[in-house]
Structure 1
């Protein structure tokens, strides 16, 4: 059985075994939605993407 919709995400495999590379859902700005694997995290919903221009990085903010 062939599925044309799944074949566009095919990365490798043949016959009955397919390996798919399905892209992660993104916002209109190109950021990726992710959830923290820690169920006790205060903020579980994360948006990952490029750093905003003009953002000042402070090393003191890193957990260490």
Structure 2
């Protein structure tokens, strides 16, 4: 692989595709989605505390 990477979710995803393992492929995909969703939520929460003036109008 490029730059000598031999571990991680991307490698697991490629291995699941190559070995025709749909369950493993879905698990890795869902884990990637959960990590991305958690990061999006955490950054949104952090931005509310760091920049309270940009939170918008509260009704």
TM class by smaller structure = under 0.3
TM-score, with normalisation over the residues of structure 2?
0.24
TM-score, with normalisation over the residues of structure 1?
0.23
Q: Which has the higher strand share?
A: 1
Higher relative contact order (CA 8 A, sep 6+): 2
